[in-house]
Protein backbone atom coordinates (compact mmCIF):
# COMPACT_ATOMS: atom_id res chain seq x y z
CA UNK A 1 0.00 0.00 0.00
CA UNK A 2 1.36 3.43 -0.92
CA UNK A 3 0.61 4.81 2.55
CA UNK A 4 2.64 2.11 4.21
CA UNK A 5 5.52 2.67 1.79
CA UNK A 6 5.66 6.28 2.95
CA UNK A 7 5.65 5.19 6.56
CA UNK A 8 2.37 7.02 7.21
CA UNK A 9 -0.05 5.44 9.65
CA UNK A 10 -3.56 6.87 9.94
CA UNK A 11 -5.39 6.20 13.16
CA UNK A 12 -9.14 6.27 12.98
CA UNK A 13 -10.55 8.65 15.56
CA UNK A 14 -14.16 8.36 16.67
CA UNK A 15 -16.33 9.22 13.70
CA UNK A 16 -17.47 12.82 13.81
CA UNK A 17 -18.33 13.26 10.16
CA UNK A 18 -21.49 11.80 8.72
CA UNK A 19 -21.25 9.61 5.65
CA UNK A 20 -23.60 11.95 3.84
CA UNK A 21 -21.24 14.90 4.34
CA UNK A 22 -18.33 13.07 2.72
CA UNK A 23 -20.52 11.72 -0.07
CA UNK A 24 -21.19 15.33 -1.12
CA UNK A 25 -17.49 16.00 -1.84
CA UNK A 26 -16.80 16.75 -5.51
CA UNK A 27 -13.51 16.26 -7.38
CA UNK A 28 -13.22 18.00 -10.73
CA UNK A 29 -11.04 19.44 -13.47
CA UNK A 30 -11.59 22.79 -15.13
CA UNK A 31 -11.85 23.28 -18.87
CA UNK A 32 -9.27 25.61 -20.36
CA UNK A 33 -8.56 27.08 -23.79
CA UNK A 34 -5.25 26.61 -25.59
CA UNK A 35 -3.95 27.65 -29.00
CA UNK A 36 -2.72 25.26 -31.66
CA UNK A 37 1.05 25.31 -31.29
CA UNK A 38 1.02 26.43 -27.61
CA UNK A 39 4.00 24.83 -25.89
CA UNK A 40 2.26 23.85 -22.63
CA UNK A 41 -1.18 24.12 -21.07
CA UNK A 42 -2.09 24.42 -17.35
CA UNK A 43 -5.13 22.56 -15.99
CA UNK A 44 -6.41 22.80 -12.41
CA UNK A 45 -7.85 20.08 -10.18
CA UNK A 46 -10.38 21.28 -7.58
CA UNK A 47 -12.24 19.96 -4.55
CA UNK A 48 -15.69 21.29 -3.61
CA UNK A 49 -18.41 20.68 -1.03
CA UNK A 50 -15.89 19.81 1.68
CA UNK A 51 -17.62 19.37 5.07
CA UNK A 52 -17.53 22.60 7.07
CA UNK A 53 -14.60 22.65 9.48
CA UNK A 54 -13.21 19.34 8.20
CA UNK A 55 -9.51 18.62 8.68
CA UNK A 56 -8.01 16.95 5.63
CA UNK A 57 -5.19 14.45 5.90
CA UNK A 58 -4.72 13.62 2.25
CA UNK A 59 -6.38 12.92 -1.07
CA UNK A 60 -5.65 11.08 -4.28
CA UNK A 61 -7.03 10.97 -7.78
CA UNK A 62 -6.47 9.11 -11.03
CA UNK A 63 -7.19 10.52 -14.45
CA UNK A 64 -6.83 9.49 -18.05
CA UNK A 65 -6.42 11.12 -21.48
CA UNK A 66 -5.66 10.21 -25.07
CA UNK A 67 -1.93 9.66 -25.55
CA UNK A 68 -2.04 10.92 -29.15
CA UNK A 69 -3.29 14.32 -27.98
CA UNK A 70 -1.50 15.14 -24.72
CA UNK A 71 1.61 14.44 -22.67
CA UNK A 72 1.51 14.93 -18.89
CA UNK A 73 4.51 16.94 -17.71
CA UNK A 74 4.18 17.73 -14.00
CA UNK A 75 1.91 18.69 -11.08
CA UNK A 76 2.22 20.98 -8.08
CA UNK A 77 0.15 21.75 -4.99
CA UNK A 78 -1.62 25.12 -4.78
CA UNK A 79 -2.46 24.99 -1.06
CA UNK A 80 -0.90 27.03 1.75
CA UNK A 81 -0.84 24.07 4.15
CA UNK A 82 2.39 22.07 4.20
CA UNK A 83 1.89 19.07 1.97
CA UNK A 84 3.73 16.64 -0.30
CA UNK A 85 2.58 15.61 -3.78
CA UNK A 86 3.53 12.29 -5.35
CA UNK A 87 3.00 11.17 -8.93
CA UNK A 88 2.46 7.55 -7.95
CA UNK A 89 2.08 6.21 -11.46
CA UNK A 90 2.16 7.42 -15.06
CA UNK A 91 1.17 4.61 -17.39
CA UNK A 92 1.60 5.81 -20.98
CA UNK A 93 0.22 3.38 -23.55
CA UNK A 94 -0.20 3.74 -27.31
CA UNK A 95 -3.82 4.92 -27.09
CA UNK A 96 -4.49 6.04 -23.52
CA UNK A 97 -2.47 7.35 -20.59
CA UNK A 98 -3.36 7.12 -16.90
CA UNK A 99 -1.80 9.19 -14.11
CA UNK A 100 -2.25 8.64 -10.37
CA UNK A 101 -1.49 11.48 -7.95
CA UNK A 102 -1.58 11.51 -4.14
CA UNK A 103 -1.18 14.44 -1.74
CA UNK A 104 -0.49 14.10 2.00
CA UNK A 105 -0.47 16.81 4.68
CA UNK A 106 2.17 17.05 7.39
CA UNK A 107 -0.64 17.90 9.84
CA UNK A 108 -4.41 17.68 9.24
CA UNK A 109 -5.46 21.01 7.77
CA UNK A 110 -8.69 22.85 7.01
CA UNK A 111 -8.79 23.99 3.40
CA UNK A 112 -11.36 25.94 1.44
CA UNK A 113 -13.22 24.72 -1.61
CA UNK A 114 -11.38 25.47 -4.84
CA UNK A 115 -8.33 24.66 -6.90
CA UNK A 116 -5.69 22.63 -5.05
CA UNK A 117 -3.44 21.05 -7.72
CA UNK A 118 -2.08 22.57 -10.94
CA UNK A 119 -1.24 20.13 -13.73
CA UNK A 120 0.77 20.89 -16.86
CA UNK A 121 0.19 19.18 -20.21
CA UNK A 122 2.00 19.40 -23.53
CA UNK A 123 -0.31 19.25 -26.58
CA UNK A 124 1.02 16.78 -29.12
CA UNK A 125 -0.41 18.63 -32.16
CA UNK A 126 1.44 21.54 -33.72
CA UNK A 127 0.20 24.14 -36.15
CA UNK A 128 0.82 23.54 -39.86
CA UNK A 129 -0.73 24.91 -43.03
CA UNK A 130 -1.88 21.47 -44.22
CA UNK A 131 -3.83 20.75 -40.98
CA UNK A 132 -7.51 21.61 -40.84
CA UNK A 133 -7.58 24.59 -38.50
CA UNK A 134 -10.52 23.66 -36.30
CA UNK A 135 -11.24 23.76 -32.59
CA UNK A 136 -10.82 20.45 -30.79
CA UNK A 137 -11.66 19.23 -27.29
CA UNK A 138 -9.13 17.02 -25.49
CA UNK A 139 -10.88 15.43 -22.48
CA UNK A 140 -9.13 14.75 -19.17
CA UNK A 141 -11.25 12.21 -17.29
CA UNK A 142 -11.25 11.32 -13.58
CA UNK A 143 -11.29 7.59 -12.95
CA UNK A 144 -13.65 6.34 -10.20
CA UNK A 145 -12.61 3.72 -7.71
CA UNK A 146 -10.27 3.23 -4.77
CA UNK A 147 -7.54 5.36 -6.35
CA UNK A 148 -9.71 8.51 -6.25
CA UNK A 149 -10.19 9.18 -2.55
CA UNK A 150 -10.11 11.64 0.33
CA UNK A 151 -9.04 11.21 3.96
CA UNK A 152 -10.55 13.46 6.63
CA UNK A 153 -9.93 13.59 10.36
CA UNK A 154 -12.82 11.85 12.12
CA UNK A 155 -13.76 9.57 9.21
CA UNK A 156 -12.58 6.32 7.69
CA UNK A 157 -8.92 6.45 6.59
CA UNK A 158 -9.69 6.48 2.86
CA UNK A 159 -13.11 7.31 1.45
CA UNK A 160 -13.66 6.91 -2.31
CA UNK A 161 -15.02 10.08 -3.94
CA UNK A 162 -17.97 9.36 -6.22
CA UNK A 163 -18.86 12.85 -7.50
CA UNK A 164 -16.41 13.39 -10.34
CA UNK A 165 -16.48 16.17 -12.94
CA UNK A 166 -14.29 15.77 -15.99
CA UNK A 167 -12.54 18.63 -17.72
CA UNK A 168 -10.15 19.09 -20.56
CA UNK A 169 -8.43 21.37 -23.01
CA UNK A 170 -10.17 23.25 -25.82
CA UNK A 171 -7.58 23.55 -28.56
CA UNK A 172 -8.17 26.49 -30.88
CA UNK A 173 -6.80 25.88 -34.37
CA UNK A 174 -7.31 29.38 -35.73
CA UNK A 175 -6.78 33.02 -34.83
CA UNK A 176 -9.81 34.34 -32.94
CA UNK A 177 -11.08 37.35 -31.03
CA UNK A 178 -13.22 36.81 -27.94
CA UNK A 179 -15.43 39.56 -26.54
CA UNK A 180 -16.11 39.05 -22.85
CA UNK A 181 -19.40 39.66 -21.08
CA UNK A 182 -20.06 41.85 -18.07
CA UNK A 183 -22.92 43.22 -16.02
CA UNK A 184 -23.70 46.69 -14.68
CA UNK A 185 -26.66 48.67 -13.32
CA UNK A 186 -28.45 50.90 -15.80
CA UNK A 187 -27.04 54.41 -15.77
CA UNK A 188 -23.54 53.18 -14.94
CA UNK A 189 -20.34 51.90 -16.56
CA UNK A 190 -19.75 48.36 -17.86
CA UNK A 191 -16.22 47.26 -18.75
CA UNK A 192 -15.88 44.60 -21.46
CA UNK A 193 -12.60 42.73 -22.03
CA UNK A 194 -11.39 41.81 -25.52
CA UNK A 195 -9.20 38.69 -25.71
CA UNK A 196 -7.06 37.14 -28.45
CA UNK A 197 -6.26 33.57 -29.40
CA UNK A 198 -3.40 33.47 -31.87
CA UNK A 199 -1.77 30.64 -33.75
CA UNK A 200 -0.22 33.06 -36.25
CA UNK A 201 2.48 35.62 -35.49
CA UNK A 202 0.15 38.60 -35.83
CA UNK A 203 1.74 42.01 -36.31
CA UNK A 204 -1.53 43.90 -36.03
CA UNK A 205 -5.24 43.39 -35.46
CA UNK A 206 -8.27 45.38 -36.64
CA UNK A 207 -11.55 44.82 -34.78
CA UNK A 208 -14.95 46.31 -35.53
CA UNK A 209 -17.38 46.17 -32.60
CA UNK A 210 -21.04 46.68 -33.50
CA UNK A 211 -23.20 47.95 -30.60
CA UNK A 212 -26.65 49.43 -29.90
CA UNK A 213 -26.23 53.21 -29.77
CA UNK A 214 -29.59 53.62 -28.01
CA UNK A 215 -28.52 51.44 -25.08
CA UNK A 216 -24.73 51.85 -24.99
CA UNK A 217 -22.22 54.66 -25.35
CA UNK A 218 -18.46 54.19 -25.69
CA UNK A 219 -16.56 56.01 -22.95
CA UNK A 220 -12.98 54.76 -23.29
CA UNK A 221 -10.73 52.08 -24.79
CA UNK A 222 -7.37 51.08 -23.39
CA UNK A 223 -4.73 48.36 -23.58
CA UNK A 224 -5.29 45.59 -21.03
CA UNK A 225 -2.88 46.01 -18.07
CA UNK A 226 -1.65 42.40 -18.42
CA UNK A 227 -0.15 43.06 -21.87
CA UNK A 228 1.33 46.54 -21.52
CA UNK A 229 4.36 46.46 -23.82
CA UNK A 230 3.06 43.49 -25.80
CA UNK A 231 0.32 45.58 -27.39
CA UNK A 232 2.30 48.60 -28.58
CA UNK A 233 -0.55 50.82 -29.80
CA UNK A 234 -4.34 51.08 -29.73
CA UNK A 235 -6.32 53.49 -31.88
CA UNK A 236 -10.12 53.78 -31.65
CA UNK A 237 -12.69 55.43 -33.92
CA UNK A 238 -16.50 55.52 -33.66
CA UNK A 239 -18.90 55.81 -36.57
CA UNK A 240 -22.50 54.72 -37.04
CA UNK A 241 -22.71 52.42 -34.02
CA UNK A 242 -19.43 50.66 -34.81
CA UNK A 243 -16.34 50.97 -32.64
CA UNK A 244 -13.23 50.30 -34.76
CA UNK A 245 -10.07 49.29 -32.89
CA UNK A 246 -6.66 49.06 -34.56
CA UNK A 247 -3.89 47.45 -32.53
CA UNK A 248 -0.24 46.71 -33.21
CA UNK A 249 1.83 44.10 -31.38
CA UNK A 250 5.43 43.95 -30.25
CA UNK A 251 7.88 41.71 -32.13
CA UNK A 252 7.76 38.89 -29.59
CA UNK A 253 4.19 39.21 -28.34
CA UNK A 254 2.53 36.82 -30.82
CA UNK A 255 5.53 34.69 -31.73
CA UNK A 256 4.26 32.09 -29.25
CA UNK A 257 0.76 30.71 -29.67
CA UNK A 258 -1.58 31.50 -26.77
CA UNK A 259 -5.31 31.35 -26.03
CA UNK A 260 -7.74 33.94 -24.69
CA UNK A 261 -5.23 36.45 -23.39
CA UNK A 262 -6.66 39.94 -22.70
CA UNK A 263 -5.53 42.63 -25.14
CA UNK A 264 -7.95 45.55 -24.57
CA UNK A 265 -10.70 46.90 -22.34
CA UNK A 266 -13.72 48.88 -23.55
CA UNK A 267 -15.81 50.97 -21.14
CA UNK A 268 -19.48 51.42 -22.12
CA UNK A 269 -22.06 53.70 -20.54
CA UNK A 270 -25.27 51.72 -19.98
CA UNK A 271 -28.34 53.85 -20.66
CA UNK A 272 -30.60 54.68 -17.72
CA UNK A 273 -33.47 53.62 -20.02
CA UNK A 274 -32.19 50.04 -20.32
CA UNK A 275 -34.57 47.50 -18.79
CA UNK A 276 -33.23 45.62 -15.71
CA UNK A 277 -32.47 42.03 -16.71
CA UNK A 278 -32.02 42.94 -20.38
CA UNK A 279 -29.11 41.42 -22.30
CA UNK A 280 -27.45 43.86 -24.69
CA UNK A 281 -25.54 41.82 -27.27
CA UNK A 282 -22.68 43.16 -29.37
CA UNK A 283 -22.97 42.44 -33.08
CA UNK A 284 -24.00 41.14 -35.54
CA UNK A 285 -21.55 43.19 -37.63
CA UNK A 286 -18.67 42.59 -35.23
CA UNK A 287 -15.63 41.47 -37.24
CA UNK A 288 -11.83 41.20 -37.11
CA UNK A 289 -8.79 40.73 -39.34
CA UNK A 290 -5.07 40.65 -38.75
CA UNK A 291 -1.77 41.05 -40.58
CA UNK A 292 1.25 38.76 -40.68
CA UNK A 293 4.53 39.02 -42.54
CA UNK A 294 5.28 36.89 -45.59
CA UNK A 295 8.80 35.42 -46.14
CA UNK A 296 9.88 38.74 -47.66
CA UNK A 297 8.62 40.76 -44.65
CA UNK A 298 5.64 42.16 -46.55
CA UNK A 299 2.36 42.53 -44.60
CA UNK A 300 -0.37 40.04 -45.54
CA UNK A 301 -3.97 40.42 -44.31
CA UNK A 302 -5.56 37.25 -42.89
CA UNK A 303 -9.05 36.60 -41.46
CA UNK A 304 -9.50 36.45 -37.71
CA UNK A 305 -12.61 34.73 -36.42
CA UNK A 306 -14.95 36.35 -33.89
CA UNK A 307 -15.35 33.39 -31.54
CA UNK A 308 -17.49 35.07 -28.88
CA UNK A 309 -19.60 38.15 -29.48
CA UNK A 310 -19.90 39.50 -25.95
CA UNK A 311 -22.88 40.93 -24.07
CA UNK A 312 -23.77 43.26 -21.21
CA UNK A 313 -26.38 42.16 -18.67
CA UNK A 314 -28.32 45.11 -17.26
CA UNK A 315 -28.85 45.02 -13.50
CA UNK A 316 -31.34 47.02 -11.45
CA UNK A 317 -29.86 50.01 -9.68
CA UNK A 318 -28.59 49.35 -6.15
CA UNK A 319 -30.62 51.10 -3.47
CA UNK A 320 -29.13 54.11 -1.75
CA UNK A 321 -28.96 54.04 2.04
CA UNK A 322 -27.29 55.74 5.00
CA UNK A 323 -25.02 53.48 7.02
CA UNK A 324 -26.18 53.42 10.64
CA UNK A 325 -29.75 54.51 9.83
CA UNK A 326 -31.13 51.24 11.17
CA UNK A 327 -34.77 52.30 11.50
CA UNK A 328 -34.84 53.93 8.06
CA UNK A 329 -36.05 57.38 9.12
CA UNK A 330 -33.35 59.15 7.07
CA UNK A 331 -31.08 60.16 9.97
CA UNK A 332 -28.65 58.60 12.43
CA UNK A 333 -29.63 59.35 16.03
CA UNK A 334 -30.10 57.65 19.41
CA UNK A 335 -33.07 55.64 18.12
CA UNK A 336 -30.86 53.65 15.72
CA UNK A 337 -28.67 51.73 18.23
CA UNK A 338 -31.88 50.99 20.18
CA UNK A 339 -33.46 49.59 16.99
CA UNK A 340 -30.37 47.48 16.28
CA UNK A 341 -30.20 46.04 19.82
CA UNK A 342 -33.91 45.26 19.60
CA UNK A 343 -33.30 43.45 16.30
CA UNK A 344 -30.45 41.41 17.80
CA UNK A 345 -31.97 40.43 21.16
CA UNK A 346 -35.77 40.78 21.22
CA UNK A 347 -37.94 37.77 20.47
CA UNK A 348 -39.51 38.23 18.02
CA UNK A 349 -36.88 40.56 16.69
CA UNK A 350 -37.70 44.05 15.53
CA UNK A 351 -37.43 44.90 11.83
CA UNK A 352 -34.36 46.71 10.52
CA UNK A 353 -36.42 48.56 7.89
CA UNK A 354 -35.64 46.26 4.98
CA UNK A 355 -31.99 47.29 4.74
CA UNK A 356 -29.51 44.99 6.54
CA UNK A 357 -26.59 46.94 5.03
CA UNK A 358 -27.61 50.04 7.01
CA UNK A 359 -27.23 48.01 10.21
CA UNK A 360 -23.81 46.64 9.14
CA UNK A 361 -22.08 49.62 10.74
CA UNK A 362 -18.51 48.28 10.41
CA UNK A 363 -19.18 46.91 6.88
CA UNK A 364 -17.83 43.44 7.63
CA UNK A 365 -20.65 41.70 5.78
CA UNK A 366 -22.73 40.75 8.83
CA UNK A 367 -25.07 42.27 11.41
CA UNK A 368 -24.04 41.45 14.98
CA UNK A 369 -23.21 42.90 18.41
CA UNK A 370 -20.03 44.56 17.08
CA UNK A 371 -22.22 46.81 14.93
CA UNK A 372 -24.40 47.80 17.87
CA UNK A 373 -21.35 48.63 20.00
CA UNK A 374 -19.80 50.67 17.18
CA UNK A 375 -23.07 52.58 16.72
CA UNK A 376 -23.38 53.27 20.46
CA UNK A 377 -19.78 54.44 20.59
CA UNK A 378 -20.32 56.87 17.72
CA UNK A 379 -23.72 58.15 18.92
CA UNK A 380 -22.79 58.71 22.60
CA UNK A 381 -18.99 58.83 22.91
CA UNK A 382 -17.77 60.36 19.66
CA UNK A 383 -16.25 57.10 18.41
CA UNK A 384 -15.44 56.07 14.86
CA UNK A 385 -18.19 56.98 12.38
CA UNK A 386 -19.95 54.27 10.37
CA UNK A 387 -18.31 53.10 7.17
CA UNK A 388 -19.47 54.66 3.86
CA UNK A 389 -22.05 55.49 2.68
CA UNK A 390 -21.95 58.03 5.53
CA UNK A 391 -22.62 60.88 6.36
CA UNK A 392 -24.60 61.11 3.09
CA UNK A 393 -26.75 58.33 1.66
CA UNK A 394 -25.22 56.41 -1.22
CA UNK A 395 -24.57 52.99 -2.74
CA UNK A 396 -22.67 50.31 -0.82
CA UNK A 397 -19.05 50.51 -2.07
CA UNK A 398 -18.26 46.93 -1.02
CA UNK A 399 -19.62 43.53 -2.03
CA UNK A 400 -21.07 41.40 0.77
CA UNK A 401 -23.61 38.60 1.29
CA UNK A 402 -26.23 40.85 2.87
CA UNK A 403 -29.60 41.16 1.15
CA UNK A 404 -29.97 44.29 -0.99
CA UNK A 405 -31.96 47.14 0.54
CA UNK A 406 -35.69 47.08 -0.22
CA UNK A 407 -36.56 50.61 0.90
CA UNK A 408 -37.01 53.22 -1.80
CA UNK A 409 -34.41 55.92 -2.43
Q: Are residues 168 and 114 in the same domain?
A: yes
Cα 195 off chain centre by: 15
Q: In CATH, what number is assigned to the domain containing residue 325?
A: 1.10.1330.10
In the predicted structure, residue 185 carries a pLDDT above the cut 90: no
Instruction: For residues 272 and 328, state if they share a domain.
Output: no
Peptide bond into 35 cis (omega under 30): no
Asked if residue 187 has pLDDT above 90, the reply is no
Task: Identify whether residues 153 and 274 lie together within a single domain.
Answer: no
> Is residue 173's pLDDT more than 70?
yes
- Do residues 86 and 220 both lie within one domain? no
**Could you say which of 315, 337, 356 is where a domain stops?**
315
Q: Are residues 189 and 272 in the same domain?
A: yes
d(CA 304, CA 289): 5
- Name the nearest CA neighbour of 263 among 290, 232, 288: 232
Gap between the Cα atoms of 357 and 354, Å rounded? 9
pLDDT (tens digit per residue) in 75-133: 999 998 889 999 999 999 989 999 999 999 999 998 889 999 999 999 876 544 444 55
pLDDT at 6 over 80: no
Q: What is the mean pLDDT of residues 35-58?
A: 90
pLDDT of residue 402 exceeding 80, the answer is no
- Do residue 263 and residue 294 come from a single domain? yes
Residues 153 and 189 in one domain: no
Return the closest-CA partner of residue 280 out of 208, 209, 220.
209
Cβ-contact 265, 299 below 8 angstroms: no
The 3-state DSSP class for residue 115 equals: strand
Contact predicate 197/205, CB 8 Å: no
Same domain, 30 and 99: yes
Query: According to the per-residue pLDDT averaged within each range, which of 129-143, 207-221, 287-301 is highest?
Result: 207-221
Q: Which residues pair with 114 in a beta bridge?
A: 47
Structural element, H or E, at residue 336: helix 335-345
Distances in Å between the Cα of 279 and the Cα atoms of 14, 107, 113, 248, 315 are 53, 49, 31, 31, 10
Last residue of a domain, one of 172, 196, 225: 172
Check whether residue 309 and residue 322 sit in a common domain: no
| pLDDT at residue number 409 | 45
* Cα–Cα distance measured from residue 147 to residue 355, given in angstroms and rounded to the nearest whole number: 50
Tens of pLDDT, residue by residue over 274-333, are 888 899 998 878 889 999 987 788 889 998 989 888 899 998 767 778 899 998 888 888
What's the CATH number where 128 sits?
A: 2.60.40.680
Structural domain for 24, as ranges: 2-172
Amino acid sequence: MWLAALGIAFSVSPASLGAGEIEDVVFGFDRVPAAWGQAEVPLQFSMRNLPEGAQIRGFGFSFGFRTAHLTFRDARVLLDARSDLYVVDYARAADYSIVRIEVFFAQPAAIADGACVALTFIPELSYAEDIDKTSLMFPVTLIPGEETWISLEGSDPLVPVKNLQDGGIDLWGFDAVHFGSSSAPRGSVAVMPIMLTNVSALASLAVGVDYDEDMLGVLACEIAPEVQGGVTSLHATIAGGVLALDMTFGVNFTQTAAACRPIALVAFWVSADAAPGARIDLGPRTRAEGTVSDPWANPVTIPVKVAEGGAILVQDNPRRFLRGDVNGDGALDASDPVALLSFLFRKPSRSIAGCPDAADVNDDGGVDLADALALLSYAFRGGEPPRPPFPQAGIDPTLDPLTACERSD
